[in-house]
Structure 1
Amino acid sequence: MDSLYQKSVKPRPRFEWTSKFIYRPLAHLIVVPLSKTRVTPEMVVMFHTVLGLHAVSLIPQGQTWWPALLMQVKSVLDGADGQLARATGQTSETGRYLDTNMDFVVNTALFVAIGAQSGEWFQAFLGWVLLALIGTTDFQWEAAHQRSRGNTFRAAPEQKGDNPVILGLMRGFYNVVFGPQDRLIRAWNDGRFKAITRKARPDQLKDAELIYHTPRLLDFSMNMGLATQFLVAGVFIALGQPLWYVYALYVQAALLLLLQVYRERITLQFLKNS
C-alpha cells in the first residue's frame, strides 16, 4: 500500500469492516487526485453534505435505488475529507467540528425523510435518538479504551490559525448538540466501573480498568459507525422499506446493552478470582 494511503488512515485500536474494505479504498481513489489540487477537506465536507441532503430528500418521493446509491457515494466522500486532511497535513480543529456537525445535519434529515415516507414519525424520532446514542457510545468507549492504556485518543490538528469566529460557531454547535450526550454516556461508563469496583483492592484497579475497557467491545461498537449505518440504511431504502432501518437500530442498541453486561461480568469475575 502506498505511503499516501498509510498517512491518510486514522490510527484506531480496531477497525470498521465496511470502512476498511469498501469506503476507505474508494475514498483513496479520490484523495490521490485531490491532493494535487487546491481543494480543501472543508470543501469536500460541504459537497458531501449537500449530496447527502439531496439523497435523503428523494426518499419521501418514493425513490429507492437512487437515494440508496447516493448515500453510499456520500459515505465515500465522508471518508475522503478526513483522509485528504491527514494525507496533506490539513487537519484542523474547525474541520473536525465541521465534519461531525454536518454529519448530524444529514442524519437528522434522513430520519425526517423516513418519517415523511412511512408516516411513522415517532418511530423515526426514536431512530434519530438511537443513532445519536450509538455513535456517542462508540466514541466514548474508544476514548476510554485509549485513556485506560495511556494512549492518545485523537492526534492534535496539524494546522493552526483557525478563524476564531467560524471555530467558535462550530464548537458551539457541537457543544449544544453533542455535549449533553457525551457527558451522559461518559458518566454512565465511568459510574458503572466505579460501582462494580467499589470493594476492589487498590492493586486490582488498573487491571480491572483494562478488562472493563476490553477491545472486544470495540470489535462491535466500531462496526456501528456511520459508514456501516449508511450501508444498512441504503439496503433498506433500496428495498423500499426505510423504516426497517429504525428496527435495525433497536437491535444495535440491544447489543450495546448486552456488551455492557458482558464487560461488567468479566470485570467482576476478575475481581473475584484475583
Structure 2
Amino acid sequence: MNDASAGVKTAFVTEGANQVTIYGLSPVERMRRFAVKAGLAPVERMPATGPAIVADLGFAWDPAWLAWVKKAPGRAMAYGGRVVLAHYPDAAGRTGLDDIRDGERDASLYNETLRKREDAYVLPLTEENRRRIEKASYDGAYKGVTDLLTLYLWRGAAFHLTRLAAMLRLSPNMVSLIGIALCVWAFFLFRDGRYWEGLAAGLVFMVLDTVDGKLARCTGTSSSIGNIIDHGVDLVHPPFWYWAWGAGLGAWGQAMSPAELWSVVAILVAGYAVQRLVEGAFIASFRGIHIHVWERIDSRFRLITARRNPNMVILFASLLAGEPRLGLLGVVWWTVISCVFHVVRLIQAYVRRASGHPVTSWLAD
C-alpha cells in the first residue's frame, strides 16, 4: 500500500530479536522478503512520520496476514492478546489501531492468488515450533484448487524436498532447471517407446514443478523470471510429450500413421487452448474470479480436468493394461469432454448474470 499524499511506500519495521531460522532464513530476512513482495519498504527503525507496519520477531505468520493488515491503516493481528503485526496510521505515536483480529482464534482468510480459503497461521517462533511453522508455511503456499496428484499424491514428498532445497540453498530457478532437464529426457524416452522410464522421469519433473513454486513462496524468493520459466514450461511441453508418446507406439506394435498422430496432437493442443481461453474469458467477465472457484462443482472438476497430471494418470493406466495407444486416444476424448464442460459452465455463468444474480466464488462466502 502506498501513502497517496507522500507518494512513498509504507514502511515495514521489525522489532525484537530471534535466532530461530525458518527454511534456513533468519526471521528478519524472511519477513523483509515478504514485505518487499507485498510492496512495502523495509527500514531499520520506526520512521518519524507517516504510516508503518510493525512486526514482532517473536512470531512467525502467514504472508496472507501481511496482505490483510496492509489493506487498511488501523488493522492489526494479535496472538494471545499480544499485537504481532500492526499497521499504524501514525508510526511515531503508534495510535489508530481500530481493527484488531485474533490470529489464534479467527484466522480464516481468502487467498485469491492460490484460490482457497485458508486458516492463515500465526505461531510463536521457537525451536519447538520450527517444524510446525515450516509445515504450516508449506501448506499455506499450496493451491487449494488444483489437480488430484498435486493435491494428494506427492504433497508430503514435495514438502521434504522443499525443506531439503532450502537447506542446500537452492534457488527456485535451480530446481526448475533440474526439472526441465528431466522433462526433456522424458520426451526422448517416450519417443523411443520406453514409457516406464519416461513416466519415472516425468513424475520427478512433476514433483519438482511443485517444489519450485513452494520454495519460492516459503522463502519469499518468487520472481517474474521464475514465474515465466515455470508457467512457460508447463504451457509448452505437454504437446511434445503427447507427440513423443504417439511416436513411441511403434516399439509396442501399436503404431499410428503420421496423419493420425498429428490429428491427435492437433485436437489436444486445440482442446488445451479452448480451456485456457474459457478460463481467461471467465476472469475477464467476472471481476477476476477464476472459473475453478465459481461453485463447488468447478473446484471438484479441477481435480481431474484434462491437464497434464490427470492425463498422465490415463496414460499410466493404459500402460498397466499394455495398451498405450488406447491411453493416448483416452487423453483425446477426456480433453474433448473437459472442453465441453468448461464451455457449458461459462455459458451458465453468463446466463446467471443476465438473470440478475451475482457470480461469486463459493470460497469467498
TM-score in terms of structure 1 length = 0.64
Corresponding residue number in structure 2 for 1:243: 328
Greater strand percent: which structure? 2
Q: Percent identity?
A: 17
Matched to 1:133, the amino acid is V
Corresponding residue number in structure 2 for 1:42: 173
Corresponding residue number in structure 2 for 1:99: 230
Q: 1:97 to 1:234 in 2, by over 3 A?
A: farther
Q: Aligned to 1:4, which of 134, 147, 154?
A: 134
Q: 1:254 to 1:59 in 2, by over 3 A?
A: same
Q: 1:65 to 1:97 in 2, by over 3 A?
A: same
Unaligned runs of 5+ in 1: 154-188, 190-211
Matched to 1:217, the amino acid is D
Spell out the pairing of 1:55-204 with structure 2 (5 A cutoff): 55-117=186-248, 118-119=256-257, 120-135=261-276, 137-138=278-279, 141=282, 147=288
- The answer to whether the aligner puts 1:217 opposite 2:298 as a matched pair is yes
Corresponding residue number in structure 2 for 1:156: none
Corresponding residue number in structure 2 for 1:174: none
Q: 1:232: how far off?
A: 3.4
Corresponding residue number in structure 1 for 2:341: 255
**How big is each residue's C-alpha offset from its partner over 1:164-207, in whole Å with a ceiling of 9 and x where there is no partner?**
xxxxxxxxxxxxxxxxxxxxxxxxx9xxxxxxxxxxxxxxxxxx
Q: 2-side partners of 1:143 and 1:32: how far apart?
A: 37
Give the length in aligned residue pairs: 210
Corresponding residue number in structure 1 for 2:309: 227
Q: 2-side partners of 1:85 and 1:21: how far apart?
A: 20
- The answer to whether the aligner puts 1:51 opposite 2:182 as a matched pair is yes
Q: 2-side partners of 1:4 and 1:144: how far apart?
A: 37
TM-score in terms of structure 2 length = 0.50
**How big is each residue's C-alpha offset from its partner over 1:207-227, in whole Å with a ceiling of 9 and x where there is no partner?**
xxxxx9445433324643543
Which stretch of the first structure deviates more once superposed, 127-136 or 59-68?
127-136
Which stretch of the first structure deviates more once superposed, 68-77 or 132-141?
132-141
Unaligned runs of 5+ in 2: 1-130, 249-255, 358-365
- C-alpha contact 1:41 1:81 (8 A) present in aligned 2: yes
Q: 1:4 to 1:270 in 2, by over 3 A?
A: same
- The structure showing larger relative contact order (alpha-carbon pairs under 8 Å, at least 6 residues apart) is 1
Query: What secondary structure is seen at the aligned counterpart in 2 of 1:147?
Result: coil
Which stretch of the first structure deviates more once superposed, 55-64 or 230-239?
230-239
Greater helix percent: which structure? 1
